[in-house]
Amino acid sequence: MATLPSRYPAAVWTPYPQWPTGNYTDTNHYKVVWHKTQGGDGVLNWYPRSGGIPKFTILSTGVVHQHYSMNKYDRALRNQSGGVQTNLDGAISIEMVGFVGQGSTTEQLVAMRKLSAWFVEIGIKTGWLNGPPTTGARTRLSQNAWDNGRGHCGHVDVPENDHTDPRFVSKEIAAIESAWNGTGSMLTTTPREEWYKLYNQANPLVENSVVSEVQDFLKHAALGPDGKLKRYYGFTTDGKRGAVTDAALRNWKIDRWGNPDAGTKIGSKAWNEINRQLFMVHVQEDVAPVNPVDCSAVIAKLATSEAKVAELEAKIAGAQRELA
């Protein structure tokens, strides 16, 4: 394939010239290698000391830094003597700030999708070389598969290496794959308030990050005071909107609003409610990790505040009647 455009237009150029680079030994087999930093945004200050510098770093804010030209090798992979070349064999390493299995921020997901879409534009092959890198326990690519492979993989898949990152969650996989199948462009151009429209249009066969988000929400919503799952959710978050997700959403709406005719789509009211509750869950998580046993206290508080709101509403209605 030969030469690539040297800079990703949406990136901040942050070079580390003290850690030199050079030409790739192979420009016919470009491989995007995804990583997790296992740390925070301070990694940009750590790179000069470690020297393990990738092509790109995506900060928690979604800001993308580019450290080497697309046409020069980067330095995020280990390379043992003998065997294959790793960094030099067309590898394009991307460090996601964060931790394995912990997911990415919404801003990072959008940035991942945009960068992946740019890779498609410049002709880098889509698809996983060894399946989506969601686990740390798997067999690495053989030297031959690495050498002759094109496409995407995780650090966990690279021969001669022992790291098992990035262990992406389904939303991260969906952000990348949506760029490959073209469904993601709407995610970046649609305001979050209207993402429910993307949910309603989701192809049941294609993983979609908005669907993953709703499924994760239903999982939280399904935890009863006893810590057991209620009827909303009995399946794995797979980002695919099928009959099971439809039924779970419908059951949640029936329980929330008491309307037995509730449908299987999300309207602005349901979306606002999902976001309101997601926000509350996040506030809880900031204070302490969510423990299903503790849910009763949260639910009791919620009931108390809802009762107070009802009381105030009754008072207002009464006052209005008196005025009328």
C-alpha 5/C-alpha 21 separation (Å) is 17
Q: How far is the CB of 178 from Zn ion (least distance, A)?
A: 23
C-alpha 76/C-alpha 244 separation (Å) is 41
Size of the site for Zn ion (CB under 5 A): 4
Cβ proximity to Zn ion, 155 vs 253, nearer residue: 155
Cβ proximity to Zn ion, 96 vs 198, nearer residue: 96
> Of how many residues is the chain composed?
324
| DSSP character string of 117-177 | HHHHHTTPPPSBSSS----S-SPPPPHHHHHH--EEEEGGG-TT---------HHHHHHHH
**CB-CB neighbours of 27 under 10 Å:** 14
Q: How far is the CB of 231 from Zn ion (least distance, A)?
A: 40
Cβ proximity to Zn ion, 164 vs 208, nearer residue: 164
C-alpha 58/C-alpha 168 separation (Å) is 14
Residue 35 within binding range of Zn ion, rule CB under 5 A: yes
Cβ proximity to Zn ion, 64 vs 91, nearer residue: 91
Q: How far is the CB of 35 from Zn ion (least distance, A)?
A: 3
Q: How far is the CB of 287 from Zn ion (least distance, A)?
A: 31
Residues between 281 and 320 with contacts to Zn ion, criterion CB under 5 A? none
Helix pair 243-257, 209-221: axis angle to 10 deg: 50
Cα separation values, 225 from 146, 292, 299, 300, 315, Å: 49, 8, 7, 9, 31
Residues between 123 and 182 with contacts to Zn ion, criterion CB under 5 A? 155, 163, 165
Q: How far is the CB of 109 from Zn ion (least distance, A)?
A: 19
Cβ proximity to Zn ion, 140 vs 155, nearer residue: 155
Stretch of 27-35, 56-64, 252-260, 316-324 lying at the interface with Zn ion (CB under 5 A): 27-35
C-alpha 166/C-alpha 102 separation (Å) is 10
- Assign 3-state DSSP to the chain and report helix, strand, coil percentages, each to 5: 45, 10, 45
Residue 67 within binding range of Zn ion, rule CB under 5 A: no
Q: How far is the CB of 5 from Zn ion (least distance, A)?
A: 25
Cβ proximity to Zn ion, 57 vs 215, nearer residue: 57
Residues forming the site for Zn ion (CB under 5 A): 35, 155, 163, 165
